[in-house]
Chain A
Amino acid sequence: MSAAIHALTPRTLFQKIWDDHTIETSADGTCLIYIDRHLVHEVTSPQAFEGLRAAGRAVRRPDATLAVCDHNVPTSNRDKAIEDPESRIQVQTLSDNCAEFGVKLFDIFDKRQGIVHIIGPEQGFTLPGMTIVCGDSHTSTHGAFGSLAFGIGTSEVEHVLATQTLIQKPAKSMRITVDGKLGKGVYAKDMILAIIGHIGTAGGTGYVIEYGGEAVRALSMEGRMTMCNMSIEGGARAGMVAPDDTTFNYIKGRPMAPTGDVWDKAVAYWRTLKSDDGAIYDKEIVLKAEDIAPTVTWGTTPEDVLPITGHVPAPQDFKDEGKRASVERMLDYMGLKAGTKLTDVTIDKVFIGSCTNARIEDLREVAKVVGNKHVAQGVYAMVVPGSGLVKEMAEREGIADTLKAAGFDWREAGCSMCLAMNADKLNPGERCASTSNRNFEGRQGRGGRTHLMSPAMAAAAAITGKLTDVREI
């Protein structure tokens, strides 16, 4: 599209970013797009670096690439070598590759180390209007800054390392508006769980979702990141929120953020990054914040959500035959009986962490709910801060002391039991109140049973030993 046409046609935020990054468009609509930032971690990158080496290729823009180990790292005893030999080799391989190709790395001993989607924003590496990719589906998190951020596979990681571009077709656009104000005890996590329940796990397939409305605008950056993070759980590769003063205030002064005149120029550009009046979306959904209660999942896909005041459903409650069969399987896997009150479901473990909910604000909410209460007897509750810097801040604010006194296990930063690649996992049949993003079969350990919820709800569950309405604590 020419500049003249742009001036006349109202565009969505997604279209503006897309247009600013399109290098070339071919006849069938496939585009070559420029990638501004590339985050790399140890699990999905070794084969990509190996590919570069085999073809004699270099990393085109090491300055636009940032690596960190997070998926595999132990969250205790960091001073010792990683016990699992395969994990150790993978973490070492990332270090070796970064050294060889000149990529900046936050290694396991760096206090800036943490979950890739937490450190990007924390460092000011993530900025509005950028295209950001990572070999990880939760890259959608960075869309909270009004950037186009999405997960890619290892072949594409290699493509970006070599060329700083990707071959892509533009996505369709969906706007989800949440009007009104969230009630007490209701958070961004409840909002996104309710949205996924509404659109389904495949409802966003082929779309980029833009979140808006009063309830979204009122969120902090942490809350916006929680929402965008789980866009992929609704099938959308990317979620985004138009940047505003909340965004700029969060970024200003961060180590990799622009400064001086460049900062002013950047903010002026960032202020243009909002959908024009009259921009057309392929799909529009409007929800009311007042209708959203503290929400938990009961099944093994993130669309299986209910307000905490609800009861476990029965297969016959569902119209679709495929879903009915799948609900039967889920209830069996989850060890739940139809009709059980959710607040009667007892838990064994609590996991507070992950790229969805391990930022400082999340830990503050947990500490607020916990106060001077104690973790229920027989429950093991762990807190895994999202980064070394989050951990340090929480320790400074006294959050760590509150939680340790309450009986929580206070760990080092990493992905931990969100995907259980390291030693932190559920045993078969164990039930977990988790602030993470996926309740898939086996996700937190083979046979493990996951209920997704907000940090405040997970804290409440830790105290009572069962799924609990945080509004009643």
Chain B
Amino acid sequence: MEKFTTLSGLAAPLRMINVDTDIIIPKQFLKTIKRSGLGVHAFNDIRYNADGTPRPDFVLNKPEYAGTSILITGENFGCGSSREHAPWAILDMGIRCVIAESFADIFYNNSFKNGILPIRLPKEQVEALMKECEENSSAPLTIDLEKQTITRGNKMSFPFDVEPFRKYCLLNGLDDIGLTEVKAKTISAFEENDKNKRPWI
């Protein structure tokens, strides 16, 4: 997993609520057996017309948002299916951070596993950031994970919360499995003890 320390990049406002994972990556693209290559299909139905031409009304198709690495959106982003194809797809299109009023649990969790930082902010702050990015799309937003701040030049600065363990893994690009494998003995001991209590497991 790629480390996430600081990110400075363009931010695009996606003014929608309840963006579900079917919108982020429709099912016809879940037939892949790879993690990569999904970026071109991200947001397919709202990004392209049925004939495959880009829809000018979709924010990431607008020239001023080309190269966006931060997405700002409304409440309950990533609801629905557990498909990790959703974070794979947005990562593959270059997005490393999503700022929203709230996230669905599974998407939130899946993001961290792929080096994407999901940030929850209060509604007024999300709105303020969206407005800023709409008024001046070319100014970058800076996310500092170590300091837990979002800044926009010297105009705006918001602190954000992140759980210490997730922060640690993201800052260091750590793979959870490696961390857990170190505890193999503890897991075996748990299994031994549990066998007496619940032999049907």
Contacts and interface: CB of A to CB of B under 8 A. Distances in A.
Nearest to A136: B82
A403 interface: no
Interface residues on A, range: 35 or more
B198 A153 contact: no
Interface residues on B, range: 35 or more
A314 interface: no
Nearest to B26: A442
Contacts of B165: 26, 28, 30, 167
B164 A28 contact: yes
Nearest to B168: A28
Contacts of A420: 27
A473 interface: no
Interface string A34-58: 1010000001101100110001010
Interface string A442-462: 110011000000000000000
Given A36-B201, A47-B34, A153-B84, A235 B79 contact: yes
Given A159-B177, A428-B50, A441-B22, A47 B80 contact: no
A446 B41 CA distance: 14
B177 A201 contact: no
Interface stretch (A81-89, A364-372, A384-392): A81-89
B109 A235 contact: no
A24 interface: yes
A215 B30 CA distance: 38
B32 A86 contact: yes
B58 to A, nearest CB: 13
Interface in B101-119: 102-106, 109-110, 113-114
Interface stretch (B60-68, B153-161, B179-187): B179-187
Interface stretch (B12-20, B90-98, B137-145): B12-20
Contacts of B199: 258, 262, 265
Contacts of A326: 16-18
Given A34-B187, A301-B18, A266 B200 contact: yes
A313 B24 CA distance: 27
B33 A202 contact: no
B172 interface: no
Please provide the 5 A-B residue pairs with the shortest distance between their CB atoms, ordered closest to farther.
Answer: A155-B113, A46-B33, A153-B84, A153-B110, A86-B31
Interface of B: 15-18, 20, 22-23, 26-28, 30-35, 45, 50, 74-76, 79-84, 87, 102-106, 109-110, 113-114, 163-165, 176-177, 179-181, 183-184, 186-187, 190-191, 194, 197-201
9 contacts: A30-B163, A47-B34, A55-B177, A127-B200, A136-B81, A151-B82, A301-B20, A322-B17, A325-B15
Interface of A: 20, 23-24, 26, 28, 30, 32, 34, 36, 43-44, 46-47, 50-51, 55, 57, 64, 71-72, 84, 86-87, 89-90, 93, 127, 129-130, 135-137, 139, 151-156, 158-159, 162-165, 167, 169, 201-202, 205-206, 232, 235, 237, 258, 262-263, 265-266, 269, 301, 322-323, 325-326, 419-421, 428, 438, 440-443, 446-447
Given A153-B110, A438-B81, 11 more contacts: A28-B165, A47-B35, A135-B82, A137-B81, A139-B82, A156-B113, A201-B79, A326-B16, A326-B17, A419-B22, A440-B80
